[in-house]
A = this chain, B = another copy of it.
């Protein structure tokens, strides 16, 4: 079982409007709600791929109840810890004429110290049955600054490899705890290290304690920087669509590869194809199986040190 931990789980609301008129009154013609947050998206992909997964993290209030009901409807097993605060909602307003989206992000709950302690005890139990654990997304207010360091150490105590998808101080503080894999994107790499070159930045994060670094370079695919070597995997074509959730799909594929002990080029090819198949699907956490099957054999993977064909 792969455990995913979303400390700032969300209720993702999508509104479709004909045309968004700022300063105006806009009639929403369709409303969709679903559980969100990066770890939830990872579990959704794992579940769709047929892997056993459990969603955990923190949820509370009316939005927390609504997101738990949606997970039940989607048959995604969850062991979220209930907190007193109100889980955040995100509202994505899709302008159908312009084809763009405006996003509103609520601030989310403030977690109390006793709730954080209860989460550590809760994860201590859940980690006993986990083959890997994924820690994903932003930290809610109130949790310790070194929250991810504490969680990675907790996983290490259970000999459960930890995949961490975070950025900034939350990522930096967790590196000495030795996560099995971190997955920043190019912007996060640069922001976390101050280095513009993604390979140099990934090497710096490896030196700081991560056991492996996979960085997503958007349409240029993924690079992996590991003690076993460094690789780049590129998608065979650019797909139009919704990039939200592509990083979470990559994390899902990389975690499956980690648990299976697959070779790095295989892991990267799986992750690139699954990311592309996610971009081709309209909702975060969904992917297009036909696109996945078509692209997987076409992903171009090679060592990073060699010059690549364009």
**Residues of A participating in the B interface, judged by any CB pair closer than 8 Å:** 15, 17, 20-31, 62, 65-66, 91, 93, 95, 98, 100-107
Contacts and interface: CB of A to CB of B under 8 A. Distances in A.
Contact of A107 (B23, B29, B100, B107): B29
B28 A102 contact: no
A23 B65 contact: no
22 contacts: A15-B106, A20-B102, A21-B102, A22-B22, A22-B100, A23-B95, A23-B98, A23-B100, A23-B101, A23-B102, A24-B102, A24-B103, A25-B105, A26-B102, A26-B104, A26-B105, A28-B104, A30-B107, A31-B107, A62-B65, A91-B91, A91-B104
Given A17-B104, A24-B102, 18 more contacts: A15-B106, A21-B102, A22-B102, A23-B95, A23-B98, A23-B100, A23-B101, A23-B102, A24-B103, A25-B105, A26-B102, A26-B103, A26-B104, A28-B104, A28-B107, A31-B107, A62-B62, A62-B65
Contacts of A17: 104
Contacts of A101: 23
Interface of A is mostly: strand
Contacts of A21: 102
Contacts of A30: 107
A103 B95 CA distance: 14
A98 B100 CA distance: 22
Contacts of A25: 103, 105
Contacts of A20: 22, 102
B106 A28 contact: yes
Contacts of A26: 102-105
Contacts of A93: 104
Contacts of A107: 27-31
The 10 closest A-B pairs by CB, nearest first: A25-B103, A23-B100, A28-B106, A22-B102, A26-B104, A27-B105, A31-B106, A22-B22, A28-B104, A62-B66
A107 B29 CA distance: 6
A132 B101 CA distance: 46
Nearest to A66: B62
Contacts of A15: 104, 106
Contacts of A23: 95, 98, 100-102
A107 B65 CA distance: 22
Contacts of A65: 62
A107 B17 CA distance: 11
A64 B277 CA distance: 38
